[in-house]
């Protein structure tokens, strides 16, 4: 049924030093098809596609392009072979504009002089392809991670490549952006572009995938059609089945939640992009923050965590007022914060896994200024095992862990710190189905112990499966609240876009984010 | 737009004040200025010709009536004085000559002659033979070149003296300590150290420890207070005493005469003396 | 159209945002204008223009290196070697003056090239590569000159003189400043420097030849340093073996005061000029005020901190 | 148990990985041993030990700042001010010698504290804050000393002398090196410095008090610089106004040669010691070989580049 593969990874293996991470794997990419790579965190998906992108060279095996062996020694070669790659981790220059980033490495120019008009045109066209209406002169560093991800996607699309590789492009996106992206993918299929797609969202595989290559521990497990049912995919990937993807157990005190004293209380908070936020979370509760891209969820969590200034309002934890803009004070009060971008805000990439897990407990457990090395290590080992962080050694630099495993470490940091108020910003971004369940169980443990969780998530099944209440944000305000039991994806989306429509009638309310929501809604 | 009261303000451009020699020079100049009712504006080039050029250009337009210059570098000072000369201000050079610009007078001691005296003093100390090392000043500085010239002249008369090493210690005491220590390793049999200033001589003495003044003799240059003290202790065989205070004092006196329209000598020589334990009392205070 | 208007608006804003030390500079100038009648005079402003030229030209080139997240400590020494070789070429070796400036520029560019290659291909941190070049090049200057000053050629002396009423150093500074700004903002060389400095990994993954970019920015830095050295020697009519010793710190300071970050990815030629002016105005002002030279150093330090501090305060106000 | 064994194994490896310049140092020593019989002698090695002490102690403190992604240009000046104030305290002001060393240490720590506060609370880039302190502190040294050397107190002179057969500077260097290594690797101060230097934002979001960490590392740097200054003055029996001028570049070079990155997050005290030794051995060797002072600078530069280059080559071999 399929034509000749346009690209083949033929029995490739890859080692880093003594450690072999890919064992003799073969993958074919066909024109007009989406080849899905599926596997747990650390299975080797990103390593595999980096060999196509020219970042890594296979230790053994061949890469065939149109049946001919090629050697892809660097990224430039990969690009010149018609391959475009969207990497799992963002690779943008924050100090440069959207237009400059989209044309990076192939800036239009005449005699070395940059043609800025052409550069903007290319960028605008690329953004239009995915329906993102963004000022191309904005500095990328000012954008939230979702928009950065979209810029990254636009950059790859604008290459007009024959082969497009997408490594977890949807992890940071909300439903509407994902839909827009999939429209483009379908379009490209029709244009005979061959694609490789990686995602931990199994529903997405069914939506756009054609064939699925399952990997486990760096080895090839099976190739199955994308129509294979989710339970079977999970079984192939994890080697066992998972009974409950969302094991939410209501917290200890949710029984009389209404009566209990709120653990986290926010009153009249106003900040950059946030207006009049009031909310409270009681012990034992998991409250989800839902909303469109740019709705202000990240900003709200950052204010509560002490990471950003707010103009007015107050935040109370356990009745006591938190000092604004002081993370250390918030930490002492028992607040833990998993930021939205692990790479720039969560991790010290050159430090070890143990150290990264231990940052939040290092000060509190030290005695006479001496770091409790043994204790820190034991705590890190315990949490790493619990979350099944796949690594060679706990002393290994966290940079060399797979993306999903890095994310687990950031979460683990606050769990081992025993935080009572967890502020989670997309906590399971890039985490595989199995490990997600572990994270959810830890959330259950925290609420069972009288703690509470405020969780921003763009993953609506996660919102519906793991929270007790849903706060829907829109345009920097809380547009409404729904008990999870009564909420549906539709009812949440309705609230999420509620303010957007009102704003369109009020020209003065053209806040920074308006245009985008208008376009993507 | 000079001050109504011509002769009021004079700029003294010093090469560096990080060195006691020039601090003394400045002190002498300030004393004389006070006596003569001159307002003395001292600027410090921190041993950089270009900084000095900037300062000289500034002095041409800041209301000064005359400029006394202690050049960082004789050659560079000539053109650097351009704006001052163009503004019609009189210039007196002190301690170091200025090449390529008309100056009313040069108040200086002679580095070449001093270097020659130093070499002779060391030769006398070591009995006219043996291995010696030379500690040079900042490479390329005019005083380094001139004293080196003087050393060569002076040593020419003593064919049995062998210069086994010639290294820079940057006019700096700490550097001289390390350099001398290291040189001693390779040249354990030296009998003398000829240093281009007292600071380096004192660093060498520190390195020599008990050998200083016993089997190894050191000669310095400048006649600083620390230098004289070392002479008194018998650690420093001799220092070539310039009289920096006198240099400073006379430069201001000459400038005041120039401003008053009086005739002055083109070259005002300030004595350079070889100071040893014999005559040190006359110099130190 | 709307976007274009917005764009122009943004450029003004970003000019201010990137030239923050301007506020510090203006405050400084006002203070000096009040403090001394000698500050705001034609000749004194001309002096400042001449005095700032060496550091400014040096710092223009250095801006490229710093934007690319490198550092170049060798600029002072390279300035000296370029001036010295160019003087040697004509005065000592008697070769034609006509090309003596080109010789100096070539020496500068090649020195920078070598630093860049040590860092790009030898994988040395730029701090170490350029520190090594600092002493190597200074040593070579002493070797070429035998430790003595050499008179500059007529063309180089012309660089330090006046063209009609206007000092050549100021002309050279303005022209090279415009060229540097153009290259940094409008050409692929500049863009690549920003990309490499902003995120080396992203630049590499986008196919930007990171090594070549490094070598290029160092060559540019060397070229400008060479020119700066000849400007300075031209003013002195003499190339000195100790020329521009220690200028690297001033030049780096000018770039950083001008708003660049040593972490790379940010920097502006106009900012660098402001940074260099801040330093020159401070020195000039303290001379005019006859501050004692010991205290002068204390005051210079305090004023540098304040001038940059103004920028920080201003930026904080803008952010919120 | 297995994990523990693995751990010990890893420590050795990481020692080598972090002390790469060790290879360069060993090569250098072998070359000198072949080139001159005077190099590998007991007394000469002792000399090297004494000569390296100032830069090493200074660089130990500086390692903290560099690990935290800062830079401290003021260390040379702070060394001078500490030595000078301590000498002034006893010699000029006639106050009790007993505490003169403490006075010097306090001056150093306070100077560092001020730099740290300018940078943490004044938001100045550390390059600018410490550059400002460089000139402020040097100016104060000149003010205190009036440009003249002051004899050191007996306690300070003792720091520069011998304790039995062993030179005090070496003892001080070893002891402070051990303390520094302990503080950097085992205490919360050190670990915080690594976190802040590795990723300031991540450290802040983990509740690490970034500002306090910055102030602390600069205070440590100032403290060590003050001690280094007294060591040097003690050897000279005199505190000089020009003491340790320009030492900042040597000290930074020692830290970077020792494997630290100016980008922060990496650094080792043992590496810094090796870096300082590389510089001291080069200078010592060139003196022993009586290389002419002009060429000496060229050779120093080349050898620095090679010594660090060796590390790079070695690391490349390990990686693949
Ligand atoms: N540079 C490296 N050095 C050492 N090990 C590495 C390196 N890069 C990746 N690895 C290891 O290779 C394995 C595969 O990693 P990879 O990033 O390919 O996983 P992945 O399947 O993409 O996982 P995720 O779903 O979490 O993104 C992991 O165990 C990881 O720790
Ligand atoms: N159009 C825009 N241009 C630039 N910055 C914007 C724009 N819209 C929002 N932002 C900023 O980007 C961030 C996006 O908002 P925030 O991240 O809080 O929203 P979110 O609901 O968490 O959405 P996301 O899914 O993007 O994380 C905020 O810091 C906001 O100030
Ligand atoms: O005469 C002075 C002193 O000797 C000083 O030590 C160096 O510079 C010279 O000009
Ligand atoms: Mg991956
Ligand atoms: Mg968000």
Domain boundaries, chain A: 7-238
Residues of D with CB under 8 A from a CB of A: 6-7, 10, 186-189, 191-192, 194-195, 198-199, 201-209, 265-266, 319
Q: Are A27 and A198 in contact (CB under 8 A)?
A: no
Quick one: CA dihedral A199, A204, A206, A209, positive or negative? negative
Domain range for C188: 51-249
Considering the domain boundaries, does residue C103 fall inside one?
yes
Chain C nearest CA to B42, separation (Å): 7
pLDDT of residue A519: 37
Binding-face residues of B in 191-250 toward C, CB within 8 A: none
Distance CA B94, CA B258 (A): 14
Q: D232–B174: do the CB atoms touch at under 8 Å? A: yes
Chain B nearest CA to C12, separation (Å): 34
Distance A168 CA to ligand 4 centre (A): 7
The residue whose CA has the least distance to atom 10 of ligand 1 is: A400
Considering the domain boundaries, does residue C255 fall inside one?
no
Chain B partners within 8 Å of D38 (Cβ): 185-186
| Average pLDDT of chain B to the nearest whole number | 89
Write a three-state SS string for chain B: CCCCCCCCEEEEEECCCCCHHHHHHHHHHHHHHHHHCCEEEEEECCCCHHHHHHHHHHHHCCCCCEEEECCCCHHHHHHHCHHHHHCCCCEEEECCCCCCCCCCEEEECCHHHHHHHHHHHHHHHHCCCEEEEEEECCCCCHHHHHHHHHHHHHHHCCCCEEEEEEEECCCCHHHHHHHHHHHHHHCCCCCEEEECCHHHHHHHHHHHHHHECCCEEEEEEECCHHHHHHHHCCCCCEEEECCHHHHHHHHHHHHHHHHCCCCCCCEEECCCEEECCCCHHHHCC
Q: Are D279 and B209 in contact (CB under 8 A)?
A: no
B29 touching C (Cβ < 8 Å): no
The three-point CA angle C147-C153-C158 to 5° equals 125
The yes-or-no verdict on residue A216 having pLDDT over 80 is: yes
In tens, the pLDDT along D264-304 reads: 999 999 999 999 999 999 988 888 887 777 788 899 899 88
State the number of CA atoms in the 13 A half-sphere of B248 facing the CB.
25
Residue with token string 């410090």? B44
Q: Which residue among D6, D189, D206 places its CB closest to the CB of A359? A: D206
Could you tell me which chains touch chain D, where touching means 3 or more CB pairs under 8 A?
A, B, C
- The H or E element that residue C128 is part of is helix C126-145
* Mutation site for B-interface testing, chosen from C151, C244, C290, C301 by largest number of B Cβ within 10 Å: C290
Q: C308–D262: do the CB atoms touch at under 8 Å? A: no
Q: Is A347 helix (H, G, I), strand (E, B) or coil?
A: coil
Question: pLDDT in tens for each of the 320 residues of chain C?
Answer: 344 444 444 455 555 555 667 888 888 899 999 998 888 888 889 889 988 999 999 999 999 999 999 999 999 999 999 999 999 999 999 999 989 999 999 999 999 999 999 999 998 999 999 999 999 999 999 899 887 789 899 999 999 888 888 999 999 999 999 999 999 999 999 999 999 999 999 999 999 999 999 999 999 999 999 999 999 999 888 898 888 988 999 999 999 999 898 889 999 999 999 999 999 998 888 878 877 778 888 998 998 888 787 766 655 543 32
Q: Which residue among D41, D236, D288 places its CB closest to the CB of B173? A: D236
pLDDT of residue B177: 85
pLDDT band, residue A2 (cuts 50/70/90): low
Q: A94–C195: do the CB atoms touch at under 8 Å? A: no
Considering the domain boundaries, does residue C211 fall inside one?
yes
Chain D nearest CA to B174, separation (Å): 7
Q: Which ligand 2 atom minimizes the distance to the CA of A295?
A: 21
The yes-or-no verdict on residue A520 having pLDDT over 60 is: no
The residue-averaged pLDDT of D36-42 equals 88
Could you tell me which chains touch chain A, where touching means 3 or more CB pairs under 8 A?
C, D
Q: What are the structure tokens assigned to B180, written together?
A: 């001398």
pLDDT of residue A156: 94
Pocket flag, ligand 3, residue B22 (CB < 6 Å): no
E strands within D129-255?
150-151, 162-163, 166-167, 238-239
Q: Are A340 and A425 in contact (CB under 8 A)?
A: yes
Q: B63–C47: do the CB atoms touch at under 8 Å? A: no
Q: Between B and D, how many CB-CB pairs are < 8 A?
A: 86
Q: Which ligand is nearest to the CA of A429?
A: 1
Pocket flag, ligand 3, residue B222 (CB < 6 Å): yes
Q: Are C187 and A112 in contact (CB under 8 A)?
A: yes
Distance D242 CA to ligand 3 centre (A): 14
Considering the domain boundaries, does residue C282 fall inside one?
no
Distance CA C233, CA C87 (A): 9
Chain A nearest CA to D171, separation (Å): 25
Q: CA C134 → CA D54, D58, D299, distances in Å?
A: 22, 21, 12
Task: List all residues 6 or more positions away from D129 whose beta carbon is below 8 Å from its beta carbon.
Answer: C305, D115, D116, D118, D119, D122
| Average pLDDT of chain D to the nearest whole number | 89
Distance D41 CA to ligand 2 centre (A): 67
Domains contained in chain D, number: 1
Write a three-state SS string for A352-418: EHHHHHHHHHHHHHCECCECCHHHHHHHHHHHHHHCCCCCCCCCCEHHHCCHHHHHHHHHHHHHHCC
State the number of CA atoms in the 13 A half-sphere of B208 facing the CB.
26
Question: From C228, which residue of chain B is nearest by alpha-carbon distance?
Answer: B50
Q: B17–C43: do the CB atoms touch at under 8 Å? A: no
Pick the CATH number of A7-238 from 3.50.50.60, 3.40.50.300, 1.10.3720.10, 3.30.1330.60: 3.40.50.300
Q: CA A205 → CA A211, A228, A360, D182, D304, distances in Å?
A: 9, 9, 37, 52, 56
Considering the domain boundaries, does residue C75 fall inside one?
yes
The yes-or-no verdict on residue D4 having pLDDT over 50 is: no
pTM, full prediction: 0.89
Considering the domain boundaries, does residue C130 fall inside one?
yes
pLDDT band, residue D8 (cuts 50/70/90): very low
Question: pLDDT in tens for each of the 285 residues of chain B?
Answer: 333 344 579 999 999 887 788 888 999 999 999 999 999 988 888 887 778 888 888 888 788 899 999 998 787 788 889 889 988 999 999 998 888 888 999 998 888 999 999 999 999 999 999 999 999 987 766 688 889 999 999 999 999 999 998 888 888 888 888 889 888 877 889 999 999 999 899 999 989 989 999 999 999 999 988 899 999 999 999 999 988 999 999 999 999 999 999 999 998 888 789 999 999 998 876
Q: Which ligand 1 atom minimizes the distance to the CA of A40?
A: 25
Q: Inspect the structure and tell me whether chains C and A have 3 or more CB pairs less than 8 Å apart.
A: yes
The residue whose CA has the least distance to atom 10 of ligand 3 is: B143
Distance CA A36, CA A59 (A): 23
Q: How many CB atoms lie within 10 A of CB D22?
A: 24
Q: Is A293 helix (H, G, I), strand (E, B) or coil?
A: coil
Q: What are the structure tokens assigned to A426, written together?
A: 């997309």
Chain C nearest CA to B18, separation (Å): 9
pLDDT of residue A164: 97
């Amino acid at each position: 049924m399929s034509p000749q593969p346009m690209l083949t990874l033929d029995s490739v293996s890859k080692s880093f030093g003594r450690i072999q991470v890919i064992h003799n794997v073969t993958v074919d990419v066909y024109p007009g098809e989406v080849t899905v790579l599926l596997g747990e965190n650390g299975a080797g998906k990103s390593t595999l596609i980096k060999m196509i992108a020219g970042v890594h060279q296979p230790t053994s095996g061949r890469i065939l392009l149109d049946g001919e062996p090629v050697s892809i020694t660097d990224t430039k070669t990969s690009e010149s072979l018609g391959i475009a790659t969207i990497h799992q981790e963002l690779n943008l220059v924050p100090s440069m504009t959207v237009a400059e980033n989209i044309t990076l490495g192939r800036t239009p120019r005449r005699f070395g002089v940059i043609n800025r008009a052409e550069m903007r045109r290319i960028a605008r066209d690329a953004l239009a392809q995915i329906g993102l209406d963004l000022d191309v002169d904005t500095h990328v560093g000012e954008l939230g991670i979702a928009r950065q991800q979209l810029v990254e996607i636009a950059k790859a699309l604008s290459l007009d490549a024959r082969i497009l590789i997408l490594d977890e492009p949807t992890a940071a996106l909300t439903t509407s952006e994902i839909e827009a992206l999939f429209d483009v993918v379908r379009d490209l299929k029709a244009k005979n572009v061959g694609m490789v797609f990686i995602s931990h969202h199994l529903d997405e595989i069914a939506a756009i995938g054609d064939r699925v290559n399952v990997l486990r521990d760096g080895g090839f497990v099976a190739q199955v059609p994308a129509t294979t049912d989710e339970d079977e995919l999970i079984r192939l990937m994890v080697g066992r089945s998972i009974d409950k993807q969302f094991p939410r157990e209501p917290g200890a005190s949710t029984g009389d939640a209404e009566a209990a004293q709120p653990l986290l209380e926010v009153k009249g908070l106003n900040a950059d992009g946030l207006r009049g936020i009031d909310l409270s979370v009681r012990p034992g509760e998991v409250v989800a923050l839902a909303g469109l891209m740019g709705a202000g969820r990240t900003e709200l969590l950052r204010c509560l965590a002490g990471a950003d200034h707010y103009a007015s309002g107050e935040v109370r934890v356990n009745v006591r007022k938190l000092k604004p803009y002081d993370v250390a004070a918030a930490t002492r009060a028992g607040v833990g914060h998993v930021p939205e971008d692990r790479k720039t805000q969560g991790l010290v990439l050159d430090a070890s896994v143990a150290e990264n897990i231990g940052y939040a407990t290092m000060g509190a457990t030290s005695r006479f200024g001496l770091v409790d090395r043994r204790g820190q290590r034991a705590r890190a080992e315990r949490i790493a095992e619990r979350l099944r962080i796949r690594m060679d050694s706990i002393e290994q630099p966290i940079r060399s862990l797979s993306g999903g495993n890095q994310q687990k470490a950031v979460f683990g940091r606050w769990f081992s710190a025993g935080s009572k108020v967890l502020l989670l910003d997309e906590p399971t971004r890039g985490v595989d189905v199995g490990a997600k369940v572990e994270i959810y169980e830890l959330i259950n443990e925290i609420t069972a112990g009288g703690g509470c969780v405020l969780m921003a998530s763009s993953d609506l099944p996660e919102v519906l499966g793991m929270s007790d209440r849903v706060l829907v944000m829109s345009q920097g305000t809380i547009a409404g609240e729904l008990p999870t039991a009564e909420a549906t994806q539709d009812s949440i989306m309705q609230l999420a876009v509620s303010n957007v429509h009102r704003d369109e009638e009020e020209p003065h309310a053209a806040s920074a984010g308006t245009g985008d929501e208008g376009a993507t809604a | 737009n000079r001050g109504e009261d011509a002769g009021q303000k004079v700029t003294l451009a010093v090469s560096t004040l990080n060195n006691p020699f020039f601090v003394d020079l400045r002190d002498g100049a300030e004393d004389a200025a006070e006596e003569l009712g001159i307002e003395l504006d001292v600027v410090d080039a921190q041993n950089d010709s270009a900084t000095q050029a900037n300062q000289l250009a500034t002095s041409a337009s800041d209301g000064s009536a005359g400029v006394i210059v202690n050049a960082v570098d004789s050659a560079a000072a000539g053109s650097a004085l351009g704006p001052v000369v163009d503004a019609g201000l009189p210039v007196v050079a002190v301690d170091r000559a200025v090449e390529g610009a008309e100056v009313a007078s040069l108040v200086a001691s002679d580095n070449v002659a001093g270097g020659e005296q130093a070499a002779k003093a060391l030769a006398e100390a070591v009995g006219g033979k043996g291995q010696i090392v030379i500690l040079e000043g900042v490479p390329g500085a005019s005083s380094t070149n001139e004293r080196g010239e003087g050393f060569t002249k002076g040593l020419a008369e003593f064919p049995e003296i062998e210069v086994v090493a010639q290294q820079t210690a940057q006019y700096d005491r700490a550097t001289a300590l390390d350099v001398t220590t290291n040189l001693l390793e390779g040249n354990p049999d030296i009998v003398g150290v000829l240093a281009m200033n007292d600071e380096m001589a004192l660093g060498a003495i520190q390195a020599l420890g008990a050998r200083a003044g016993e089997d190894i003799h050191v000669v310095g240059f400048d006649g600083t207070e620390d230098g004289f003290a070392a002479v008194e202790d018998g650690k420093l065989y001799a220092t070539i005493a310039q009289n920096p205070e006198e240099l400073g004092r006379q430069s201001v006196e000459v400038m005041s005469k120039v401003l008053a329209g009086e005739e002055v000598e083109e070259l005002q020589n300030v004595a350079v003396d070889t100071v040893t334990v014999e005559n040190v009392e006359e110099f130190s205070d | 159209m709307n976007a274009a208007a917005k764009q122009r608006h943004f450029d003004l804003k970003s000019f201010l945002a990137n030239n923050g030390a301007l506020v510090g500079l203006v405050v400084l100038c006002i203070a000096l204008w009040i403090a001394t009648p000698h500050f705001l005079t034609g000749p004194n402003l001309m002096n400042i223009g001449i005095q700032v030229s060496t550091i400014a030209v040096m710092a223009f080139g250095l801006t490229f290196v710093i934007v690319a997240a490198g550092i170049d400590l060798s600029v002072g020494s390279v300035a000296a070697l370029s001036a010295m070789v160019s003087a040697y070429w004509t005065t000592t070796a008697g070769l034609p003056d006509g090309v003596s400036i080109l010789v100096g520029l070539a020496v500068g560019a090649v020195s920078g090239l070598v630093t860049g290659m040590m860092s790009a291909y030898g994988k040395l941190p730029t701090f170490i590569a350029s520190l090594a070049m600092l002493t190597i090049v200074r040593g070579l200057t002493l070797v070429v000159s035998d430790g003595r000053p050499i008179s500059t050629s007529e063309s180089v002396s012309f660089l330090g003189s006046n063209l009609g009423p206007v000092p050549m150093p100021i002309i050279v500074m303005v022209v090279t400043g415009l060229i540097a700004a153009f290259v940094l903002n409008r050409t692929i060389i500049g863009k690549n420097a920003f990309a490499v400095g902003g995120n080396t990994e992203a630049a590499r993954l986008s196919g930007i030849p990171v090594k070549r970019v490094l070598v290029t920015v160092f060559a540019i830095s060397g070229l400008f340093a060479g020119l700066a050295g000849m400007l300075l020697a031209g003013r002195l009519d003499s190339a000195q073996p100790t020329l521009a010793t220690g200028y690297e710190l001033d030049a780096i300071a000018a770039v950083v005061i001008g708003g660049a970050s040593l972490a790379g990815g940010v920097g502006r030629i106009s900012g660098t000029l402001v940074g260099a002016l801040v330093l020159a105005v401070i020195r000039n002002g303290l001379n005019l005020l006859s501050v004692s030279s010991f205290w002068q150093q204390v005051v210079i330090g305090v004023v540098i901190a304040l001038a940059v501090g103004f920028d920080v305060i201003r930026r904080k106000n803008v952010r919120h």
